[in-house]
Copies of this chain bind each other. A is one copy, B any other.
């Protein structure tokens, strides 16, 4: 039987690994739990940037140049909204707008957000299990030197320039995990955490009560892939946000942010010097080239990570026997 794989993923790095896994695994064996902490209402429409990046990537409709949004996009609705005096710093394309209009309409009709996400994915030809950690509203808020900001305000409008001092996940304490996400964690053979921003993309998933405990309790082999290369992020503010949270801005910091939740860590060759310290923490470590620029590299990293998980499982089974 094919192993059941569950991936926790956010941002562009998460979407890329998701694509790599999707190229290898039968869709019914693959569940991806996305991040809703970046969700925000724009112009009365509910926008879910991380989930859309996952969906558009898996549908092969993503704008490959920028890593988000749809390819061959236009912005005529946004130009119209600008004429009405609306803030248009959040670049929402016309084809993309259809997603937000459809999502918002179904939300107002009371359809579960996770059912909506799955419907959107299916309409675009994505057949794996695209899951939300919660159907409740959970929004990442950052306290910065410019005051409290929603994630998109910090990330898009302010281009990550403000200094982050504190991160909160508004609504997390009342959020209930979706049964689908809980089952995907509990029933997985391999549990992966994508090379996403640990603070901005993965922590909001872990903040949903029950999800962290499920990760601690699952019998799955649990592997994270560090988003850092040479101690720095490829894109986005993960290194600075780790530092702001009091973690080292290195694969050691990534490991520390997942303490108790992972059995192994995949790090970039450029961070190979961290290996002994990571092993001293009891982690299995794999060193490889983690930069995913094209389809081949996504598949290769996914393949190597799955093989790494398999070797850890085998060693555990031999130790138990």
Query: Which A positions have Cβ atoms within 8 angstroms of B?
Result: 43-45, 74, 76-81, 83-86, 94-99, 101-102, 104-105, 108, 119-120, 123-124
Q: Top 7 closest A-B pairs, CB basis?
A: A80-B98, A44-B105, A76-B94, A84-B102, A81-B98, A80-B95, A84-B123
Q: A44 to nearest B CB, angstroms?
A: 3
Find chain B residues with CB under 8 A from A97 CB: 77, 80, 97, 101
A-B pairs with beta carbons under 8 Å apart, 22 shown: A43-B101, A44-B105, A45-B101, A74-B76, A74-B94, A76-B98, A77-B94, A77-B95, A77-B98, A77-B101, A78-B98, A80-B94, A81-B101, A81-B102, A83-B98, A83-B124, A84-B98, A84-B119, A84-B120, A84-B123, A94-B94, A97-B101
- Identify the closest chain B residue to A78 (Cβ): B98
Q: Which of B74, B79, B99, B108 contacts A98 (CB 8 A)?
A: B79
How many copies of this kind of chain does the complex include? 2
Given contacts A43-B102, A79-B98, A101-B101, 7 further A-B contacts (CB under 8 A): A74-B94, A78-B98, A80-B96, A80-B98, A84-B119, A86-B102, A97-B97
Majority-rule SS of A interface residues: helix
A101-B44, A102-B84 known; A95+B74 contact, CB < 8 A: no
In the complex, A101→B119 CA distance in Å? 22
- Identify the closest chain B residue to A41 (Cβ): B105
In the complex, A81→B95 CA distance in Å? 9
Find chain B residues with CB under 8 A from A94 CB: 74, 76-77, 80, 94
Q: A257 to nearest B CB, angstroms?
A: 37
In the complex, A74→B81 CA distance in Å? 15
